């Protein structure tokens, strides 16, 4: 396991008064241990089915690999229709593990179907997709745990209508449903129409579902070794059996973030120094925000907790956000994701000998430049007393990505337990969903519709 967490730069002994003292860390350990205990006790129960994902999917993996091989033979394009936890994981893993211009490669090089995820209902995006694919050689993976999400079901209806118009009865062969086995509309439709179906276990919520069929089928279709991803998660889980922060990196991060939040660090910046990990920051933002941003705790007390996740990319955002991180308010924790070995590299050639302020780069590689820029950013932030820590891995591969995702899921679960909140619900999201239903006149939402209708109209004096 090459994943390491280095949290020196979170500590007061390194960054000064903004940091965490050994005493503060030691004081929080009993709470961290009890959170660990709570998470361990909940393993596999209720909404903690995701903790079984690394272990209980032998049969599912076999089915998915067979399905993926069939899709690779029969189709040119694989399109995921889903949103939130049903889309961000597939996007993150695809970008992490496939060629960065995968879809542009010829089929002979890429070997597997082109890959798209439509995670919005912007009509321009939907129509743009239809401009570049032919539905006749495309398979659509409709992913929705609830089987009811308006965005995903709208996409499904549009796609199905097109498929039926072009293919008649054969339309059903172009849909794969990934959904709950026990509830929702998609499972009913899947049975009625005889779609190929994969099940999302009841105890696996959207944002914790990347290592379930939600993420495993899309990954397998583009040739990603899903067994290795699960193996990485399994090995991270082994480390997480310990309640000692020196053994369990997820618990260490959880304890540090919890203390940081109590010290007013309300913003968590996730800053990978690798383009391949750019969308891991996106996936993490959902996990962290939707799980920890809560109004009430488990005792019903109003707490309004959470830490706002911000996505950033090294080195690109050194030229935009890093100014703020160095000189703005002391309200952030910066997490660097560091890759020790890039999968390819390129030497910066000679050619500017008479310009010493350019030629100093010549002969070095882009990987060296990337790494040194990370070191430099970390150095300046540390010197200015800004909390930061680094999660590093030897290389970006299936095993390490599985381990990294699982580490982040665990870390989120531990912090949720430390905050004494329900990590797995999302009442704030439900509110918006219900208001949308009401605006469309859906039956059962009349009261909300009336509330919206009778809301005070906007005052023109505040409109410029
Ligand atoms: O994490 C979650 O539960 C949410 O973000 C869901 O994934 C999202 O709302 C989509 O839900 P569903 O998979 O039911 O369509």
Q: How far apart are CA 383 and CA 11, in angstroms?
A: 12
The pTM of the whole model exceeds 0.95: yes
50 lines ligand 1 (CB under 6 A): no
DSSP calls for 111-154: -S-EEEEE----HHHHHHHHHH--GGGEEEEEEESSS--HHHHH
Active site residues: 290, 319, 433
Query: Closest Cα to atom 8, ligand 1: which residue?
Result: 84
Q: Over the stretch 272-321, which tens digit does the pLDDT of each residue have?
A: 999 999 999 999 999 999 999 999 999 999 999 999 999 999 999 999 99
Q: Over the stretch 80-100, which tens digit does the pLDDT of each residue have?
A: 999 999 999 999 999 999 999
Q: Which domains does the chain have, with CATH numbers?
A: 4-41+230-419 (3.40.50.10490), 50-224 (3.40.50.10490), 429-462 (no CATH)
Residues 6+ apart with CB under 8 A from 453: none
Rounded to the nearest whole angstrom, what is the distance from the C-alpha of residue 1 to the centroid of ligand 1?
31
Residue carrying the six token digits 């299936």:
398
Q: How far apart are CA 252 and CA 413, in angstroms?
A: 13
Residues 6+ apart with CB under 8 A from 128: none
Identify the burial level of 300 via C-beta atoms within 10 angstroms of its C-beta, where 0-12 means exposed, 13-18 middle and 19 or more buried: exposed
**3-class state of residue 219 by DSSP:** helix
Rounded to the nearest whole angstrom, what is the distance from the C-alpha of residue 114 to the centroid of ligand 1?
24
Rounded to the nearest whole angstrom, what is the distance from the C-alpha of residue 429 to the centroid of ligand 1?
9
Distances (CA, A) of 397 to 33, 211, 224, 300, 344: 31, 15, 9, 42, 13
For ligand 1, pick from 50, 86, 213 the residue to mutate: most ligand atoms within 8 Å of CB: 86
DSSP label of 305: E
Q: How far apart are CA 186 and CA 36, in angstroms?
A: 36
Confidence at 433, pLDDT banded by 50, 70, 90: confident
86 lines ligand 1 (CB under 6 A): yes
Ligand 1 nearest-atom number relative to CA 208? 1
Residue carrying the six token digits 């704030």:
428
DSSP calls for 378-391: HHHHHHTT--EEEE
Q: Over the stretch 186-215, which tens digit does the pLDDT of each residue have?
A: 999 999 999 999 999 999 999 999 999 999
Confidence at 40, pLDDT banded by 50, 70, 90: very high
Report the pLDDT value the prediction gives residue 84, as an integer from 0 to 100: 96
Q: How far apart are CA 281 and CA 268, in angstroms?
A: 11
Report the pLDDT value the prediction gives residue 2, as an integer from 0 to 100: 85
299 phi and psi angles, rounded to 5 deg: -95, 5
**3-class state of residue 20 by DSSP:** strand
């Amino acid at each position: 396991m090459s994943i390491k967490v280095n949290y020196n730069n979170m500590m007061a002994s390194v960054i000064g008064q903004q940091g965490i003292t050994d005493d503060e860390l030691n004081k929080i350990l009993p709470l961290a241990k009890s959170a660990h205990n709570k998470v361990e006790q909940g393993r596999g129960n209720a909404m903690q089915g995701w903790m079984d994902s690394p272990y209980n999917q032998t049969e599912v993996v076999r089915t998915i690999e067979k399905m993926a091989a069939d899709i690779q033979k029969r189709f040119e394009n694989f399109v995921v229709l889903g949103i939130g936890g049903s889309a961000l994981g597939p996007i993150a893993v695809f970008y992490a593990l496939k060629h960065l211009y995968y879809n542009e490669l010829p089929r002979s090089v890429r070997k597997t179907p082109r890959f798209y995820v439509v995670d919005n209902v912007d009509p321009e995006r939907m129509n743009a997709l239809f401009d570049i694919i032919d539905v006749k050689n495309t398979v659509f993976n409709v992913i929705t745990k609830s089987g009811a999400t308006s965005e995903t079901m709208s996409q499904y209806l549009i796609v199905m209508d097109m498929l039926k118009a072009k293919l008649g009865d054969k339309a059903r062969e172009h849909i794969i449903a990934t959904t709950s086995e026990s509830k929702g509309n998609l499972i009913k439709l899947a049975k009625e129409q005889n779609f190929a179906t994969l099940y999302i276990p009841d105890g696996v919520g959207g944002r914790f579902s990347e290592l379930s069929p939600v993420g495993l089928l899309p990954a397998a279709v583009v040739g990603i070794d899903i067994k290795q991803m699960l193996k990485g998660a399994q090995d991270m889980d082994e480390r997480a059996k310990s309640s000692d922060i020196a053994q369990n990196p997820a618990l260490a991060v959880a304890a540090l973030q919890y203390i940081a939040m109590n010290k007013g660090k309300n913003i968590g910046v996730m800053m990978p120094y690798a383009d391949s990990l750019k969308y891991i920051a996106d996936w993490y933002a959902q996990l962290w925000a939707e799980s920890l941003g809560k109004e009430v705790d488990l005792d019903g007390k109003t707490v309004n907790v959470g830490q706002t996740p911000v996505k950033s990319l090294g080195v690109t955002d050194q030229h935009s956000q890093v100014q703020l991180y160095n000189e703005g308010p002391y309200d952030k924790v910066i997490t660097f994701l560091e890759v020790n070995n890039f999968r390819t590299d390129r030497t910066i050639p000679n050619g500017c000998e008479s310009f010493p302020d350019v030629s100093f780069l010549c002969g070095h590689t882009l990987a060296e430049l990337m790494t040194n820029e990370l070191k430099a950013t970390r150095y300046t932030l540390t010197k200015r007393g800004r909390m930061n820590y680094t999660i590093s891995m030897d290389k970006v591969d299936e095993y390490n990505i599985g381990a990294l995702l699982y580490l982040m899921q665990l870390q989120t679960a531990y912090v949720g337990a430390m905050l004494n909140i329900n990590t797995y619900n999302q009442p704030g999201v439900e509110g918006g969903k219900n208001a949308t239903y009401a605006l469309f006149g859906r039956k059962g939402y009349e009261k909300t519709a009336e509330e919206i209708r009778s809301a005070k109209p906007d005052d023109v004096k505040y409109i410029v």
